[in-house]
Amino acid sequence: MLLVQQAILFFDFEIETSTPAFTLFTDLPMGQLSQLAYDSHNKANTRLGPAIQLNVNMTPCTSAPYLGTITIYFDDIIKGYTQYAINYKARSTQWQYFVINKSAVQLENPAISGKTPVSFDGPSSVTVGNGQQAMLFTSGDNLLSLSEVPKYKFDLVNKPVRQTGASSSPKVIFKGLPSPDPRRSGVNTGAEDNMVVSPMYVYV
């Protein structure tokens, strides 16, 4: 019997992460189970200084024992391509603040205020999952990136209703609103592009 051994043409690596929420705070598709595939033969790869930036292919799957794979072909190494890079971007989401007024604080003109130019839409009256009434503020089309160290700081304020000849600063109702938890992010399937949203609940 003649045995033909198949030649090995590449290194094959499996990608694992020690952070369970990696796919939640990284800009990867949500709502579908996929594996990442990187290949040194991929024509979409680009130069990044001395390294080759590997472009990702998303492979839909029913189960994902690991995050993805990296395939580096020997012929690419022979050509001198010995450095490879993979970069990830933080996920950007629509921030949503659900303000539940349990203390019956008088809010004539509530708003979300911060030192950044980001503006929030609202408030609009909504009913949350437990049946409570809430005021909803959203960042609208302004998608804000998630980060381990908060990049944005917002306060819930009550803007005075300006009268002729009178002006005053907004009153801070809740200083230092929370930042999103990536594990609580979700997909707004009602949006045209299935926008990822970060809901946060604030009790005053």
Q: How far apart are CA 83 and CA 48, in angstroms?
A: 10
What's the confidence (pLDDT) of residue 104? 75
CA distance 199 to 98: 7
| Confidence (pLDDT) at 99 | 94
Q: Above 70 in pLDDT, residue 193? A: no
Q: What is the pLDDT of residue 91?
A: 92
Select the highest-mean-pLDDT range: 43-47, 66-70, 158-162: 43-47
Q: What is the mean pLDDT of residues 4-33?
A: 83
Q: Tens of pLDDT along 158-171?
A: 987 765 555 577 88
The structure's pTM equals 0.81
Q: Look at residue 170 in the predicted model and tell me its pLDDT.
A: 84
Residue 108 host element (H or E): none
Question: What is the tens place of the pLDDT at every residue in 81-107?
Answer: 999 999 999 999 999 999 998 887 788
Which is more confidently placed, 3 or 122?
122
Q: pLDDT band at 53, cuts 50/70/90? A: very high
Are the C-beta atoms of 187 and 197 separated by less than 8 Å?
yes
What local confidence, expressed as pLDDT, does residue 165 receive?
52
Q: Which residue has the higher pLDDT, 31 or 165?
A: 31
pLDDT of 140 reads: 92
Cα–Cα distance for residue pair 85/51, rounded to 1 Å: 6
- Residue 185's CB is within 10 A of a number of other CB atoms, namely 19
pLDDT of residue 40: 96
Give me the sign of the Cα torsion angle 131, 136, 140, 144.
Answer: negative
Run of H or E including 80: none
